[in-house]
Structure 1
Amino acid sequence: MKTQLFFIGIILVFASCKTAKLPQTNDPQIEKIPDTIALITEPDTVYLITQKGDTLSSLDEEVEIEMVRLLPDTVTIVAVGDIMVGTNFPDKSYLPRGTGRYLWDHVRPILQNADITFGNLEGTILNDGGEQKECNNPKLCYLFRSPEYLAENFRENGFDLMSVANNHANDFGETGRKNTQRVLDSLGIAHAGSIDQPFTITKIGHLKVGFCAFAPNRGTVSIHQYENIKATIKHLDTLVDIVVASFHAGAEGSKHQHVTRKREFYYGEDRGNVYELAHLMIDNGADIVLGHGPHIVRAMEVYKERIIAYSLGNFLTYGRFNLRGLAGEAPILEIQTDATGRFVAGQIHAFRQSYSDGPRNDLNLSSIKTIQRLSLEDFPENPVTIDDQGRIIYLQN
């Protein structure tokens, strides 16, 4: 499903000179390199083996070796915004046809061909039941309950990480929240942001990835508890190669396109200061920061050689979503980093949602133009430029 990680340069992550048996594998690929060096590839790890004595003769031979885990020279991360693939609440008229597979036809190749693919899951995965959320304002109350069969699309389309930290995570109470996590676990998709699982560590290819997510909503890990955010990210940073942090924050709608660098409110709810939050995350060890929540795209910047996407907007939201104008822009952000998370380059792929057929190629490149404009206006000091084709060029490279 995923492309292999290619090795252009060698990054030495750990090295120990010891007497040990070489790694055991059912079908090792051993490439002998002159001067007693061999490359051994196992399903989950690549080792550089340097023997201190005679030529390697057997995998069972006990020899003094130096083992070094190799990481890729570059990593490709694809990220999208809000996903809600259909809801059977309040009735089944808000479900797509069949399995909903057709909704993904135009975006599938990009999503599948990345080392790490991320999205924000709006709502719950639950066939029926659950404890319905009560809303102070019924006119603003939308509850999302996606049947389990629709979730298979996440695995088929290559998702590795999903945030469950948003204002719809608790639409159907603890029952919905825990069933969502159970289904994602069964699909092999790492998730974070619920009070039940604030963060996670997963292995994707040859990388250890730490993932955490935050929101201002019940049942999620709060964006307002800065000391907890700092501690979580610092902890992950000591254990993994790359830390991905996500937040659901910022006021909603076309009147709130800009990153104000101030605290934002929406219908009385404190939606946080996204600028302060994103910088705090990177200051404490996050390598990639991915925002969502306003239901429109916002600016991007690079801070301390790490990329921040302040909002990726809506991506694939079927049924009960406003998709007019800016709300219909559905970009895919593709970025390359080195194996420690430093930003190298990127590409914005422009898509636009339709009400019935999912995201489709946007020949007008609307989301690229919007992100380009907002990034120039909100971050004139930004060390990246976004060209008219959506290429994100790091000026310090």
Structure 2
Amino acid sequence: MLLYNVSVKRYLVALYLLCYSVPFLGLARGMWAEQIVLWPIGNFTFDVNEAIVARLTSVWFLGLVGGAGALLLFNLFKRVGVSSIKLRTIELVDVRYWAWFFFLVSLCYVTARALMPEEVFAVFTGIESFAVCAILVFFSYALLIRRFWHMLASLLLAFGYAYANTRTGDRDFVVLFVAMMLGGLFYWSRYIAFKALLLIGLLAVGVLASGVYVSMVRMDVPMTEENVSQYLLFNSWNAIILPMVDQLTNHWDGDHLKYGKTYFDMVASMAPSPIYTFFGSIKPITLDNPADWYYIFGLGGMHAAGVGFENFGLMGVAFDVFLSLLFLLLLDRRSEERSYMRYLLYMLVSASVMHWLWYGAMYVLNMVMFFGLFAAMVLLTKILLSGVLRVAARPGADSAHHGV
């Protein structure tokens, strides 16, 4: 309610804080037991005692404190009149050809994956983020051009992608639908009443529940009441707390601090993998391994608070959330312009929030890098086309001059 009633509807901030808190809140049910099972299939467990409960609560609370600090600082910036960056250089007409290009690429990929799920998944594994980006490029275009057939085509493409995902038991379609819903909320925010927002919230819960269903089907888990309850409370988004439990149990005294090395590795890992292969080196961080210093086989996730704690201790937890929310607040801020690039960046980051918090910040860095490359391609195309048009118009102008 607080996030809704402020002058700017901060949907990205609400999504971030929800995803940040869900793993901690999922543990609440088991805090009075002697042991918690975090992942039903992997049987990852940890013992419950007063110390670990107090430490987990402290980490969660410090994250919220960092978020509150970001909100206060951002509101202070608004009062002194600091303006946000305006993305007006690229207009909607400049991206129409690229939007249709990515639509065709997405359509070919979705069709191939739906018809040959195992073969395509084996060949193109690891490009799910690119597929989500490609669909959002066209959806952003359809959203702003406001034509029924464009919007219908983008929705059918998204549902086709969801179907193709379920063929191989994947859940990447969840982040796509979350990004599309937040993009729609951001676009129509001035017309959306609170009742409509509640309805959209229910739809979002349904999308997340479908992700749980796909997980259970993929792992051949019987659909019993107990299993469904376990997966809702202790799904993979809660299992990523396990690295935090190990850190808070064995490294509470601060003998583990890396003082920012992980963040440096994230930036260094933005280069394409073939570059590392060419020089015979190993990529520091991959999408499935958010930190080279901690990895649980078969789990592949880690809460963002764990990265902050590993590098700078408890202050790192608050500082990580503080910087992250400042970044999101800049995107969540409403502007009068209807900039295509603004909406695209908004939805790309929306699609990365869950993976960013639960599997590593490489996801959001990759989304920002895709955005930068896409903007560069559109600008280059715009410059080349304008140059060609000027050259083509010059002979006609010279002939007309000599004719006079």
TM-score, normalized by length of structure 2? 0.25
Q: Which structure is higher in strand share?
A: 1
Higher Rg of the two aligned structures: 2
Higher relative contact order (CA closer than 8 Å, sequence separation 6+): 2
TM-score, normalized by length of structure 1? 0.25
Q: Which structure is higher in helix share?
A: 2
